[in-house]
Each structure stands twice: as C-alpha cells, then as structure tokens.
Amino acid sequence: MVNLRVISVKVWTPYRFLNAADLALEVGVGIVIGNSLDIEESEFFPAVFRSGSCAEGGPKQYMEDEALYLKRLICVCGIMDKLLVDGNGFGLIFVDVCGQVFDGHGGTDAASFVKNNILRFIVEDSHFPICVEKAIESAFVKADYAFADDSALDISSGTTALTALIFGRTLVVANAGDCRAVLGRRGRAIEMSKDHKPNCSSERLRIEKLGGVIYDGYLNGQLSVARALGDWHMKGPKGSPCPLSAEPELQATNLTEDDEFLIMGCDGLWDVMSSQGAVTIARKELMLHNDPERCSRALVREALRRNACDNLTVIVICFSQDPPHQIEIPLPRVRGNISAEDLNLLKGILDRNS
C-alpha cells in the first residue's frame, strides 16, 4: 500500500466537479483522498450513482432536519517522501458518493452547523486517508467541539448525524443517533446502522456506567436518543466522559451486483416503517418508474399515511442506471403417485362438496 498522508487541504470545494484540466491548474483543491479498507479486486464497480431525496415537516410546526448529497468528490494531497503518484508529487483519490442526514432538535443550529462542517473535519483529520474509520470518528467529535465554541449559535440545540461514503465499491456508514441507513440487497433489507436509543441494552449500560439515568425511555429524562452532537447543556467539559455521546458507530461493506440501493432516513420514517418494509416499497417503486426522487417521495408519503408524527427526510441512492430485476422464486416440484382407489375416493369427496 502506498504510504499516503494528508499534508494540507488548501481549499475545500465540495460543490464543484474537478476534471483533469482543473486539477492541472488548481493543485490543492478538493475533498477526499482515499480509505483504509482493503478493497478486493472485483468485476463489480457501480458505474452509475443516482439519487433522490424528499423532506417534509410532517405534523410538526418547524422543520429541523438537514440533508446533503454529493457525488464524485476529489481531493489533492501531498505525498509523504515526495512519492510521485501523478507525476507532480500529488495524490488523487475519489469518493464517489457522500450522503448525510441530520435530525435536529431544539432548533436548527446544530444540524445546520454539522452539515456544513463535518465533511471538512473528515478530510482534514490526520488519520485520513490511511484510516478512514478513525478519521470519521474523530471528525464527529471535532464537529461537536467546534459547535460548542461558536458563540453565535444556540449550543443547547442538538442533532443526530448519519453519513454514508462510497469509495469505489466500498460503502462506509457512520451513525450517531437514531437516523438509519438500510441497504437493499435483491429485495432484502441490510441495516447499515444501529439506532442509538437510551433503552438499547448496550447504550443503557454505557449511560448508567457514566452516571446517567433513563426515565421512560429518555436520557436524563430529556432526550430520546443516546448519542447526538450539540446539546451542550447536557454535557460536561470537553473530553470528559458523558452519558450523551457524539461518537459514531461505523459499519462497512463491499458492494456487489446484488446491492441495488441505499435508503437513508431520519427516525420520522423508521418510527412507522420497518427496514424491510421500506426496502420493499422502494424496490417496487424503482421497478415501476426507476426514479429515486419519486421513490423517496413515495416513502415519505407512505410514512405520512401511517401517521408519522415527526419531520421526515429520506435519501435514496441507486447503484445502477437500470431498475431492480424481478426476483424469480422457483416453485417446489412435488413428485408422487396416487393409486386408482385413492383417486376415486378423492373424486367422490369433491363431488359431494360440489
């Protein structure tokens, strides 16, 4: 493996696609430079990424969710020991997709701040790109601290955070809170994140070990999630152990041709719909019209029909330009013989019942 290390990211421009000509003129511009996962050689690499999103306030008076989707991001970085990767002493690595969902509470300040800054914290972290997992974990905490330091914002507001990054065919999902990412794999739901609810056994143990309490499913009687960024009225000094954690949990997988799409949604969706139910609806919609935007709207519409009581935000990311294939389930073949006597008996029973 090439020993890469980020020396600096001079300019951060996530909304711009850089081509080869741009890179020749603007060395030091970009986003992402790699990952630490071992990507095995495979014939399958998603050639096309398509996405759609939908956000509705639902029955709530205010919309506090935030979401972001970017694709084909590039980072230019310096190389340790002046190793010439592209002939100019700089390395280029691509992130094909970045999807993020933030479910705010107590106002929009935390969700908006984290959305606008967390990707920068990831790529500027010293672990990036050698160890993407550590970079993401560190970035969540750094974003939390940076939010606390911004005197112009209401640091008592908070947000959950869900981030999905795709490098080639490797999907990495980081989650803190109760947003959820679900992979659709030939009609089967594969959960790529875990909901951090206070009553979850592992979260309860962590909370109680750090002196927190749970009242009626709420952390310290105030918050319905066990992990969140912001909410500094519930946290102690920076770096001190706290029942309310900003640290994410990560899951990673190598995508195969059986993986068709990824659904990212806030808890407003998952409160009224199972992961498998969402995948079934999404797959049916994509087979019908192959439009991830309409698919995301259908999921939100169905959640509202089921009386969702929270804000709703959904992102659907497709890994192919083609719709999902019809799944053919072979019917079991039953072999056996029936005697003439049994056949006459069966005919008699049917005649009496007709």
Show me where the domains of the chain are located: 20-38+46-322
Which pLDDT value is given to residue 46?
63
Rounded average pLDDT over 188-201: 97
In angstroms, the Cα distances linking 68 to 65, 80, 351 are 11, 32, 66
**Contacts made by residues 12-17, CB under 8 angstroms, sequence distance 24+:** 12/120, 12/123, 14/70, 14/73, 14/98, 14/119, 15/70, 17/72, 17/74
**Weakest mean pLDDT among 86-95, 130-139, 173-182, 345-354:** 86-95
More confident residue, 64 or 34: 64
Give the Cα separation of 35 and 12 in Å (integer): 18
Contact indicator for 44, 257 with CB cutoff of 8 Å: yes
The SS3 call for residue 332 is: coil
Contact indicator for 58, 312 with CB cutoff of 8 Å: yes
Of the pLDDT bands very low, low, confident and very high (cuts 50, 70, 90), residue 71 is: confident
Which has the closest alpha carbon to 283: 186, 211, 197, 149?
186
Rounded average pLDDT over 69-78: 68
> What is 20-38+46-322's CATH topology?
Phosphatase 2c; domain 1 (3.60.40)
Burial of 107 (0-12, 13-18, 19+ CB in 10 A): middle
Of the pLDDT bands very low, low, confident and very high (cuts 50, 70, 90), residue 331 is: low
